[in-house]
Chain A
């Protein structure tokens, strides 16, 4: 067997599997999305139909808030962890990154333990005399869940970026009389820009498509994945579910394509 035909033989099973279980089904999804009563216009429903549009806006706002909050939190922690060596640092890094592979459902449940009816936060606020605070099932619970989901992903990327920073630049700025805050603002943060865009896009795409967390928590909140789920399973509205899925997939893919072009890495957007 020649080198060339051997390579083709190595590749063939992958191509067959991918076509059968990914390419064809995705093509079918796109077709079904246009098979509703409105035809191809069904794809516009996501922005034209008020209820869907409200859900889309909800989801985008929630995902953006998650992204910003995650970036701020992760940057403070990442700069600290890369700039200082102290006993227990490795344990701290491990604690911040280990939930990386927790599925969304589990994270949803952890948020219930934190902010649900028998949750820790409620117990603490009651002891403090502020009454029992329960917000796991509201948009704040979902926000906390998405935060839990994205912090480990984002922190890894930003830590790697901080490690690559040249400490000489900061020293130079300092020796020229810049205050510590000015050094952060004018030297450190701009240098981390690409890492922010890359990991921010990942956080955003993840929060847009997160189904597991929403499934556990969002009984009364409309977010895109829950809308798709209810349209498909409860209303049996296949065309709408398909067109919404295609829309959601396009948004996530575009964000991650942007992230990849800026960082070269790939991170799974599961949830």
Chain B
């Protein structure tokens, strides 16, 4: 009886916490398709707000995807080989490099953005292009790719595989493409999902780095929250959810398959 009571109490508490996290998201989704949120869902269901947001902000959504995939491309091309080198080389220098590239996780985005602005703000063309935002996103997401790939290397004996291939006469480049990358695939996949998700949602850096011509989706969201009616802001949030939730689900499925990472 007593156990039953404790169980019910804990269950109710946990449900309450889950409701705190989920209910506002559901409210937002509902508000985004309600004709008049003040009068409630009984005023009817509509897609007019979503359409309006799309017309106003389609370019920010597009730019977000361009930046997210460019960030992914850079972190893949630069991060995966670097993770391999950091793993096989080891030693103090490698650890120092790893520490430094991990620092952006610990420093608020606002500070990194200010640092970039103070350093490159005077370089007009670069400052005005979306490449400026890309630089910020790469710095911020790189550690996720490198660490995720290194985590895989730590679980398999990549050094022996590498040496085995070398003893068979394979060149370093061949070994990288045919041995290292295929073995690192789970880490590359997890890292890629993380990089794209974080880049799509990144606000702290992006808000500081954006210009009127380089707005991303989260920047548009902040605009909409400040100036639009609740329905429009909600419809915009709904579009964001549609983009980001599949990525989150994929990440959770991946994490379940490999409980260690």
**A and B physically associate:** yes
Binding site for B on A (CB under 8 A): 1-3, 6-11, 13-15, 17-18, 21-26, 28-29, 32, 73, 76-77, 79-81, 84, 86, 92, 94-106, 108-114, 118, 120, 147-148, 151-152, 180, 205, 208-209, 211-212, 215-216, 225, 228-229, 232, 238, 241-242, 245-246, 248-249, 252-253, 256-257, 266-271
Find out whether the CB atom of B108 lies under 8 angstroms from the CB atom of A102: no
- Give CA–CA (A29, B28) in the complex, Å: 38
Given A11-B85, A105-B222, A211-B108, verify A18-B114 contact (CB < 8 Å).
no
Q: Which of B43-51, B184-192, B195-203 contacts A (4 or more CB under 8 A)?
A: B195-203
Complex A-B, nearest 7 residue pairs according to Cβ-Cβ distance, in ascending order: A209-B108, A25-B115, A110-B24, A6-B172, A10-B81, A14-B82, A245-B111
B203 touches A242 (CB 8 A): no
Q: Are B21 and A3 in contact (CB under 8 A)?
A: no
Given contacts A3-B172, A13-B82, A76-B13, contact A21 B201 (CB under 8 A): no
Return 25 A-B CB contacts under 8 Å, by A number. A14-B78, A14-B81, A17-B138, A17-B139, A17-B142, A28-B115, A28-B119, A76-B10, A77-B13, A77-B17, A86-B11, A96-B17, A103-B202, A106-B218, A110-B24, A118-B38, A118-B230, A211-B204, A215-B203, A225-B108, A232-B114, A232-B208, A242-B118, A253-B106, A268-B198
A62 to B198, CA, bound (A): 25
Q: Which residues of A contact B112 (CB under 8 A)?
A: 22, 25-26
- Whether the pair B201, A25 counts as a contact (CB closer than 8 A) is no
Given contacts A25-B116, A105-B225, A216-B225, contact A249 B111 (CB under 8 A): yes
Task: A157 to B37: give the CA distance in the assembly, Å.
Answer: 38
Q: Write the chain A residue with the least CB distance to B20.
A: A148
- List the B side residues contacting A23 at CB < 8 Å: 100
B201 touches A109 (CB 8 A): no
Other than the given A26-B115, A76-B14, A103-B203, 7 more pairs (CB < 8 A) read: A77-B14, A147-B20, A225-B110, A228-B111, A232-B114, A266-B105, A270-B204
Residues of chain A with a CB closer than 8 A to B129's CB: none
Instruction: Check B139 against A109 for contact (C-beta < 8 Å).
Output: no
Whole-angstrom distance between the alpha carbons of A9 and B77 in the complex? Answer: 12
Q: For B60, what are the chain A residues with a Cβ–Cβ distance below 8 Å?
A: none
Partner of A114, one of B24, B104, B207, B248: B24
Task: Check B203 against A229 for contact (C-beta < 8 Å).
Answer: no
A208:B17 contact, CB within 8 angstroms: no
Interface residues on B, range: 35 or more
Find out whether the CB atom of B28 lies under 8 angstroms from the CB atom of A1: no
Per-residue A-contact encoding for B219-253, CB less than 8 Å = 1, 0 else: 00110010000100110010010001101110110
Q: Cβ of A271 and Cβ of B204 under 8 Å apart? A: yes
Q: How far is the CA of A269 from the CA of B143 in the complex (A)?
A: 13
Q: Is there contact, CB below 8 Å, between B114 and A113?
A: no
B259 to chain A, nearest CB (A): 9
A232 to B207, CA, bound (A): 13
Across-interface contacts of B14 in A (CB, < 8 A) = 76-77, 80-81, 92, 96
Known A-B contacts A21-B138, A101-B198; the reply to A245 vs B84 at CB < 8 A is no
Complex interface: chain A residues within 8 A of B166 (CB): 3
Contact partner of B24 among A3, A113, A253, A271, CB < 8 A? A113
Closest to B84 in A: A10
